[in-house]
């Protein structure tokens, strides 16, 4: 349904998107995950025909966005980062206007506006001016605007940004309901969003794709080699060498620069017994031994940050 | 065509939903009314004098209506920049331009929609003056033809200003900057008129042809010259064309 090949976007000297390729199948929800400035918005703006790519091609709903922009746009709904509302217009008037310019047939405009307002739960605000809406409603009217012409493809740029937790849950629910009949790309810099809504994730950083997989696989892959945090009182000897010999251990490296070691092992193999025995038989002290679990947050951080930024706190809102 | 209409309607709604339209119409009516009264009283004094001296009556069209419309062009100079300033600048600032540019619309449809939207408000301004001109018909017997051509001329001249205003608005995110620059350019085009009077005959010809307001002269005297029609039509067309180029290049720059 969406095919992006070797897409690049440069703003003068700034490369915002660098050789990005990915596919989205029909009915799929793809999460587009990356910190601020990763190039999510730029990619989406190319996909929606807002601006042309510097290099590469994008095919949306069967049409090249450069070659046949009108055909592609007819089949695409887009919610930009800030919902594109006219503050002086009333919600119903606004949606009617959008329906017209999206090419909804004249005799279906009213029905489509009604159905969409119902679906996005903005019907009770129909007569309110867009500028007087709360953030949550603004976002929903933005979503309604993207859905009006029942597009094959939906491109949502940070659809839950700035919403309160209740609104976030509602919006996610709505997006899930839309999958199936629509192919959806949604961008976010918040992790739980992806694991809860998306079937597949493209992680992007500094304009490059760093990983493409399902949320489960991504965590599993990085956890594939189980990691242990080990702290040993080796009385001056080199513990790394010894631990390396323990059956099942794949690699040992310093975890924190204070004597702690990160010991990676083959998946599904418990090395704790062997490791403890090796340490104790040498008369060393085993100060700490605990599994290092990587949450999706850490996966994300590991993939997207370089060493200098690795100390950045991982949290619900990484780059707010 | 439906798309052009949809955009034009949206623009008109935006003008009339906010106080802008009413402020402009009020301001315009006030200034026009002032010119009207001033010119009318001068006209009546003069024609009284002429009658007392036993001369014939003066021509309402030539002595009153024509100068009145020429003065109107000055008011338009002040009012139109504030009408066109928001057309693009505001869409860019608020991000609604993303809606327009990602909808299945061509640039030309968007620009024409905005052009006709602004022209409708401008026509509404001109419609106010029908009241004043109407009274002249009640109390006197002016010729109707020069009045018709005057309005046509004013519409076309306004069209030039609107297309220029759209172009300038498409170049910035800031409405105020758009208004100031537009006003400065209008003023320049207007000043060319005077300058032309102090130059040699050849330069004068050229400058007079360039000047937007010069071409209005014949219209107010009931003369429909293709030279002027061509000038106005190509000015408008060229302005709108440059606006499409400006919007397109903005796209490539991002
Ligand atoms: N219009 C623009 N002009 C110049 N640079 C831009 C423009 N838009 C975005 N950028 C730059 O491109 C990079 C990617 O930005 P963006 O696509 O907005 O990322 P994201 O949406 O992931 O936060 C950033 O470094 C940003 O500063
Ligand atoms: Mg963004």
The confidence score (pLDDT) of residue B55 equals: 64
Structural contact between residues B244 and B107, judged by C-beta atoms closer than 8 angstroms: yes
Tell me A285's DSSP state: E
C-alpha span between A2 and A153 (Å, rounded)? 8
Chain A hits for B95, CB-CB cut-off 8 Å, are 80-82, 84
Q: Which of A126, A188, A153, A152 is nearest to A140 (CA)?
A: A126
Low-confidence ranges of chain B (pLDDT < 50): none
End-to-end CA distance of chain B: 28
Of B6, B95, B97, the CB nearest to A101: B6
Low-confidence ranges of chain A (pLDDT < 70): 219-226, 267, 293-320
**What percent of chain A is predicted at pLDDT more than 70?**
88
> Hey, are the CB atoms on B104 and A9 less than 8 Å from each other?
no
C-alpha span between A315 and B18 (Å, rounded)? 44
Q: Which of A47, A9, A107 is nearest to B254 (CA)?
A: A9
Chain B residues whose C-beta is within 8 A of a chain A C-beta are 2-3, 6-7, 9-10, 13-14, 17-18, 94-106, 251-254
Distance B251 CA to ligand 1 centre (A): 14
Of B7, B18, B251, the CB nearest to A52: B251
Tokens of B40: 């009318």
Tokens of B191: 């000043």
Of B3, B14, B102, the CB nearest to A50: B102
Around ion ligand 2, residues with a beta carbon closer than 5 Å are A 40-41
The confidence score (pLDDT) of residue A314 equals: 38
Tokens of A160: 């839950």
Q: Which ligand is closest in space to the CA of residue A50?
A: 1
State which ligand 1 atom lies nearest to the alpha carbon of A189.
Answer: 22
Residues 6 or more apart whose Cβ sits within 8 Å of residue A76:
A47, A48, A49, A60, A61, A151, A152, A153, A154, A155, B102
pTM to 2 decimal places: 0.82
Helix or strand (DSSP H, E) at A258: none
Q: Which of B87, B72, B96 is nearest to B162 (CA)?
A: B87
The confidence score (pLDDT) of residue A127 equals: 94
The confidence score (pLDDT) of residue B191 equals: 79
Beta-bridge partners for A8 = A55
Q: Which of B91, B90, B86, B114 is nearest to B102 (CA)?
A: B91
Chain B hits for A51, CB-CB cut-off 8 Å, are 251-252, 254
Please state the φ and ψ torsions of residue A303, each to the nearest 5 degrees.
-75, -30
pLDDT digits (tens, 9 = 90+) for B19-63: 878 888 888 888 888 888 888 888 888 888 887 777 666 677 777
C-alpha A287: how far from chain center: 39
Q: A200-205 and A208-213 as β-strands: parallel, antiparallel, unpaired? A: antiparallel
Tokens of A139: 């976002």
Tokens of A277: 């025995």
Structural contact between residues B85 and B14, judged by C-beta atoms closer than 8 angstroms: no
Tokens of A49: 């025909």
C-alpha span between A106 and A147 (Å, rounded)? 17
Chain B hits for A42, CB-CB cut-off 8 Å, are 254
């Amino acid at each position: 349904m969406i095919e992006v090949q070797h897409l690049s976007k440069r703003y003068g000297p700034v490369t915002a998107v660098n050789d990005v390729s990915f596919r989205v199948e029909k009915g799929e929800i793809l999460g587009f995950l990356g910190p601020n400035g990763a190039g999510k918005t730029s990619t989406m703006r190319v996909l929606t025909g807002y601006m042309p790519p510097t290099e590469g091609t994008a095919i949306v709903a069967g049409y090249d966005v450069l070659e046949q922009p009108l055909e592609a746009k007819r089949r695409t709904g887009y919610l930009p980062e800030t919902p594109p509302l006219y503050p002086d217009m009333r919600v119903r008037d606004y949606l009617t206007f959008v329906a017209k310019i999206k090419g909804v047939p004249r005799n279906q405009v009213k029905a489509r506006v009604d159905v969409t307002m119902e679906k996005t739960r903005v019907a009770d605000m129909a007569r309110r001016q867009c500028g007087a809406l709360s953030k949550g409603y603004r976002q929903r009217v933005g979503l309604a605007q993207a859905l009006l012409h029942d597009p094959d493809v939906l491109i949502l740029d940070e659809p839950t940004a700035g919403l309160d937790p209740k609104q976030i849950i509602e919006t996610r629910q709505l997006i899930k309901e839309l999958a199936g009949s629509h192919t959806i790309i949604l961008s976010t810099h918040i992790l739980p969003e992806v694991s809860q809504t998306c079937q597949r994730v493209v992680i992007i950083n500094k304009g490059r794709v760093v990983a493409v997989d399902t949320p489960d696989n991504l965590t599993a892959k990085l956890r594939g080699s189980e990691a242990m945090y080990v702290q040993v009182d080796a009385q001056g000897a080199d513990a790394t060498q010894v631990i390396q010999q323990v059956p099942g251990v794949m690699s040992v490296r310093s975890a924190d620069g204070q004597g702690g070691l990160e010991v990676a092992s083959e998946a599904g193999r418990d090395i704790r017994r062997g490791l403890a025995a090796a340490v104790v038989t040498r008369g060393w002290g085993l100060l700490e031994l605990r599994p290092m679990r990587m949450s999706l947050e850490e996966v994300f951080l590991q993939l997207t940050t370089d060493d200098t930024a690795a100390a950045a706190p991982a949290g619900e809102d990484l780059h707010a | 065509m439906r798309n052009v209409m949809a955009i034009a309607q949206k623009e008109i709604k935006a003008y009339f939903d906010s106080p802008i339209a009413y402020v402009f119409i009020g301001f315009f009516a006030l200034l026009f009314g002032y010119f009207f009264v001033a010119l009318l009283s001068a006209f009546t004094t003069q024609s009284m004098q002429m009658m007392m001296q036993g001369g014939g009556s003066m021509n309402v069209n030539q002595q009153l209506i024509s100068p009145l419309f020429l003065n109107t062009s000055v008011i338009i100079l002040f009012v139109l920049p504030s009408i066109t300033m928001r057309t693009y600048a505001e869409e860019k600032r608020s991000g609604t331009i993303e809606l327009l540019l990602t909808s299945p619309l061509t640039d030309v449809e968007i620009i024409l929609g905005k052009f006709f939207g602004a022209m409708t408000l401008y026509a509404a301004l001109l419609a106010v003056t029908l009241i004043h001109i109407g009274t002249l018909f009640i109390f006197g017997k002016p010729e109707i033809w020069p009045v018709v051509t005057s309005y046509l001329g004013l519409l076309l001249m306004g069209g030039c200003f609107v297309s220029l205003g759209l172009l300038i608005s498409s170049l910035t995110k800031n409405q105020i900057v758009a208004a100031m620059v537009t006003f400065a350019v209008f003023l320049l085009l207007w000043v060319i008129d005077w300058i032309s009077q102090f130059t040699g005959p050849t330069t004068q010809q050229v400058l007079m042809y360039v000047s937007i307001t010069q071409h209005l002269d014949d219209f107010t005297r009931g003369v429909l010259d293709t030279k002027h029609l061509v000038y106005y039509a190509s000015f408008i067309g060229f302005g709108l064309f440059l606006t499409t180029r400006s919007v397109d290049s903005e796209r490539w720059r991002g």
